[in-house]
Structure 1
């Protein structure tokens, strides 16, 4: 296996390990899986952060190390997309690969930022409840409503998967393109959390929180597995050559 293939293989495994660890931290330390109801009063929000201050600060610390798992994921996706784009159009620039890379890097910011804000809310849990509530709302809404950059990683994957000619070493079969397109549409519902404090479109509702969470985790996992299998085939091709 070439150095590039080994590096991509390691990056994908890092993505999977960090993503599942982030999910555990979100549930077990930050207590945001799901988030507390948006209808809580300022006093109740402040009490939540006082009661869980140590755990939330510890969760924020761990999340500071692992929440940017989208970065190695975006790099490998861009490399694999560029491989197909170059085969399809050797003289052209890999526009879709660059767009997917940019979208993947930017969307990582919105996984990094919420734990920082929650950790800040718990850092001085004795402050005025109004201030703690502002931080809590900022962190939670940032997590569930920031769909702006996801689409710029997913749409290029869907386009290349569905339109570019593939070979047996491709990491993006057509079915993955359809799956990615569907996942992108599910994510776009998140912004509705600005409009509802209860029900399926609230920040802990099934349409805004649970559906995107499950679909995102499934999409990253499936995409990583498909890429790992493609890297194994590509390594076999390199060995044969």
Structure 2
């Protein structure tokens, strides 16, 4: 593959992250109207009323995520490829990042499909709709703890990078550690129906929800710079190889 084509694909993979971020915001906040979340203490009648009134939006939201969430795979791979540069080949950090990142699209689409199942038939038993609504929020918020390891692996890669020209800036490592910590409280939503650790609470939902777009934008900016630096290194290596071959032929 030509270097020009290779790095065009790399940049497209980074921009795929932008597509996913926009789709996420539109699906959950605008179309699905899932934020702010319904309370964990809501009754079956209240949940049924919400799902019935918002049926069309929820069904369209899962369609949007079904179409655009898979773009995250390209974003996950390019992230791992940049960590691979730091490790000098496939290593523990690049593989942890990649294997945990592949969960993300499923972690978005599957909970939405559960909620869509509840909204799909408005005449369904309200108790069943309550159960599926619970499953949506407990899955969507609760499994975010998986990404603690994913994001921490990126932060650790930044910190151990000893290259003369680091792949990522140092501050980006600290940002990843902060986001990893912000995702951790989500695992406690299974224990609470009220307060900051419930699925609509400050620590379990709102801090991670606000931190995620900031991190995502920083991730995109840093990845674009990393891809550019890798391309420059590859072009310089290619130029040296060409010059070396030319010298050998003359000799």
TM-score by length of 1: 0.90
**Contact 2:145 / 2:186 at 8 angstroms: preserved in 1?**
no
Contact 1:107-1:149 within 8 A present in 2 as well: no
Aligned to 1:219: 215
Counterpart selection for 2:142 from 140, 145, 152: 145
Aligned to 1:113: 110
Q: CA deviation at 1:178?
A: 1.4
Higher mean displacement: 127-136 or 152-161: 152-161
Segments of structure 2 that go 5 or more residues without pairing to the other structure are 240-251
Q: Which residue of 1 aligns with 2:185?
A: 189
Q: For each residue in 1:95-151, what CA deviation from the matched residue of structure 2 results, as whole angstroms up to 9, or x when unmatched?
A: 211111001112332122121111111111210001111111111111111134212
Do 2:23 and 2:64's aligned partners in 1 also have CA atoms closer than 8 Å? no
Q: How many residues align?
A: 235
**Which structure has more RCO (C-alpha within 8 Å, separation ≥ 6)?**
1
The answer as to whether partners of 1:190 and 1:209 remain within 8 angstroms in 2 is yes
1:239 CA drift (Å) = 4.0
Radius of gyration: which is bigger? 2
Query: 1:219 deviation in Å?
Result: 1.1
TM-score (norm: length of structure 2): 0.87
Residue 23 of structure 2: which of 21, 35, 38 is its match? Answer: 21
CA RMSD across the alignment: 1.7
Question: Please, which runs of 5 or more residues in structure 1 have no aligned partner?
Answer: none
* 1:16-165 to 2 correspondences below 5 Å: 16-86=18-88, 93-165=90-162
**Does residue 232 of the first structure (1) align with residue 228 of the second (2)?**
yes
Q: SS of the residue aligned with 2:39?
A: coil
